[in-house]
Amino acid sequence: RKEVEQDPGPFNVPEGATVAFNCTYSNSASQSFFWYRQDCRKEPKLLMSVYSSGNEDGRFTAQLNRASQYISLLIRDSKLSDSATYLCVVNPWGSNYKLTFGKGTLLTVNP
Amino acid sequence: EAGVTQFPSHSVIEKGQTVTLRCDPISGHDNLYWYRRVMGKEIKFLLHFVKESKQDESGMPNNRFLAERTGGTYSTLKVQPAELEDSGVYFCASSQGAGKAFFGQGTRLTVV
């Protein structure tokens, strides 16, 4: 079983749609959880950290369920500029050390 | 402020040759990480430096890979001799303490 598994995608949605990404992780000792965004041929960039209580940043909402070892990312009112690969990332050490990445889910938002 | 910079951006070498990748972290960042993405796979951790010391090199594939960070500033990752399966994108990242890690744009290595 992979350490971090994500929806394989790709997702193609129209502008304004709501899209949800799901992710599960196998290491129950994981302490930190993140969503990264990677544009084509660019570096991964931190989109948001994920907290147990859930957190929101504008149109983006992240949820964590430790019991189920499940993480989600919801994007509301999607924009063309949201088109990218979304990477689910976990870390057992509570820091940015030794991040474990999922394969990523490609999102294309269409006009 | 300059971000993490990597050189070269692309490298095409023949099997058996040597290649050296360079990473300049953000100034003042003690932590430096190397990651690699092989085509079709997820990004995987290679190793972690704190200043000039290797803290964890558990992700290094084999002894053909050598990473150094002399003086605790920039780092190099040498592959010698390169094999076909070494092809991929090599990312460097840096962070200050347990803070957010910033990634460089990567070096795309193709071994032919």
Instruction: Give the model confidence (pLDDT) of A6-44 as tens digits.
Output: 998 899 999 999 999 999 999 888 888 999 999 999 999
Given a contact cutoff of 8 angstroms between Cβ atoms, the answer to whether A106 and A21 are in contact is no
Cβ of A94 within 8 Å of Cβ of B98? The answer is yes
Taking the C-alpha atoms of residue A8 and residue B103, their distance in angstroms, rounded to an integer, is 24
Interface residue of B35, B36, B42 to substitute, partner A, most A CBs within 10 Å: B42
The token pair at B75 is: 């780092």
Instruction: Give the model confidence (pLDDT) of B14-51 as tens digits.
Output: 999 999 999 999 999 999 999 999 998 999 999 999 99
E strand or H helix at B10 = strand B10-13
Q: Return the pLDDT at A94.
A: 57
Q: Name the minimum distance, in Å, from the CA of B104 to any CA of chain A.
A: 6
Taking the C-alpha atoms of residue A88 and residue A11, their distance in angstroms, rounded to an integer, is 15
